Amino acid sequence: MRIALGTDHAGYPLKVAVKQLLEQLGHEVVDFGCDSEERCDYPDFIRPAAEAVATGACERCIVFGGSGNGEAICANRVRGVRVPLCWSEETARLGREHNDANGLAMGARVVSEDLALRMVRIWLDTPFEGGRHVERIRKIDEPG
């Protein structure tokens, strides 16, 4: 799978760990930055990662920040991209099962590296449940 990554300075160390995991699992990673812990503005890196999913250049994206809140908000502004902010294994699983999440947002200041890596594996391995959730996603993706 081709997976886009984007982060700000606070999420950079977590991005490095997740990138290593993804490559070990055989995924192709497209890294939109940032490339250090030097202060930066997250939309400069998050929006391009989300747009890569929207255009089909990547199948999924993972975005990182201090809390992950701003990053999730930014990514979700891109039409067709569904990025839950996850802080537990259950939120990662439900994001895929119920929301067909094609993105994942995490906060490096609120989740440990170990938990983040477990959430990524769950998010990658969990299929979309379909059924009653299909109509809800259609309502999200189509303008009212």
Tell me the per-residue pLDDT of 34-91, one tens digit each, with 9 for 90 and over: 999 999 999 999 999 999 999 999 999 999 999 999 999 999 999 999 999 999 999 9
Active site residue 98: yes
- Domain spanning 2-141: CATH 3.40.50.720: no
Report which of residues 140 and 18 the model is more confident about: 18
Residue spans of the domains in the chain: they are: 2-141
CA distance 61 to 5: 6
Active site residue 23: no
3-state secondary structure of 12: helix
Is the pLDDT assigned to residue 142 strictly greater than 90? no
The model's pTM: 0.96
pLDDT range class, residue 31, cuts 50, 70, 90:
very high
Give me the catalytic one of 59, 98, 129, 133: 98
Which tokens is 42 given?
A: 């997250």
Q: CB of 62 within 8 A of CB of 75?
A: no
Q: Kindly tell me the sign of the dihedral angle through the C-alpha atoms of 133, 73, 115, 22.
A: positive
Residue 108 DSSP label: T
**Of 55, 32, 42, nearest to 11 (Cα)?**
42
* pLDDT number for residue 144: 63
